[in-house]
Structure 1
């Protein structure tokens, strides 16, 4: 995760994941996530990608979608998609007459029943909530994706504890534009973290949900997340969302990730058919 090398400092690269030949629907695609100032208007400007190998190079505009629908926060989340040829290619982005290399990683390829995407661990997040979630979700077959952005000593100790647990991934959340705080990113980085999480797991997870740290999802009828949600989805092949309400009455969703491409806060930007529970 790093800032692209441009004089205006108006585009920040977060992550990129590659889906190879074995990924079917997303074959040979690279899904990219960026942060940009709201006034940079990258959803209306052209981002040129350079795809190259030992024998050739191709320039083409990238399809970019702005996941953040408002201009309240200073920084917004962008997502882009690039399709490579069958052979792996180098990927670069042309930004303001400067060329920046993009390092893409293989998307997660381990079959997972449910992935729980969470906001960055930052600010008023309680370490007790994180530790509870880290133990509960794997108990029912879930996988917890966390993003770490906290300098308090007790959270460093927590990080070391989390690394020893199964069923959890810990990803550092970067400093960017010279900032060490997430105050100016939408709601402390929820959208960009969930966008990264969706891109990483959408080809390997049967279901994905986007939850806050003060929420805990537990199967009600069955003893695993997969059995619980497959029971609702099994006869509804075109349904992409299962909507439910938490204890406060707030609407939450469990998604079939293959039917969505981007997320804003805790909701998919696309609105596929949904079931209400």
Structure 2
């Protein structure tokens, strides 16, 4: 197999089989190569060129990165907004993966978060959590001191737990909930 990059440099490699059985229709092949121009790659297989999507690792340093599961649209936004603001207030960077364009546009308004739009990817729900966790790990492992994989309603709590009541009061006061009688 050959990998062709932006500079038309061709790298030949031999993938190693990682699937240890013959029960599955698909198998996993793994190969490691040094990537020089990390923008666009195509895999040459026979007389076909298959584009390979690549993302650069983050260059911005973070103390804590929170990786979250994919958001498909059926979520409680109050929980996500409170969780997001709480993590930002303790200095964490939070990475979201969203497949609804309108939700993506709303999240773009928030500073200090990372968002990716994955659109209509039919196989995403089959392995969505594994895909986004691997993407988040690959993107931020060299640019952060600590990475946490949390659900949308989980909190990363620092050692000084006394700050939580104060932070929740501030976060609650910053929102106008549409609840009667509050």
User: Does TM-score exceed 0.5, indicating one fold?
Assistant: yes
Change in Cα spacing, 1:134 to 1:77, as seen in structure 2 (3 Å) is farther
Q: What per-residue deviation string (whole Å, max 9, x for no partner) do you get for residues 70-108 of structure 1?
A: x8xx999987643135xx376321346521233533311
State the SS of the aligned residue for 1:196: helix
Q: Which runs of 5+ in 2 are unaligned?
A: 164-182
- More helix by percentage: 2
TM superposition score normalised by structure 1:
0.47
Q: Does 1:201 align with 2:152?
A: no
Change in Cα spacing, 1:75 to 1:121, as seen in structure 2 (3 Å) is farther
**Which structure has the larger Rg over C-alpha atoms?**
2
Q: Which runs of 5+ in 1 are unaligned?
A: 1-47, 225-277
- More strand by percentage: 1
Matches within 5 A, 1:108-257: 108-122=58-72, 124-150=74-100, 156=102, 158-176=103-121, 179=122, 182-183=124-125, 185-186=126-127, 189-221=128-160
Asked if the contact 1:64–1:79 (Cα under 8 Å) also holds between the matched residues in 2, the reply is yes
State the SS of the aligned residue for 2:159: coil
Q: Distance in 1 between matches of 2:86 and 2:29?
A: 32
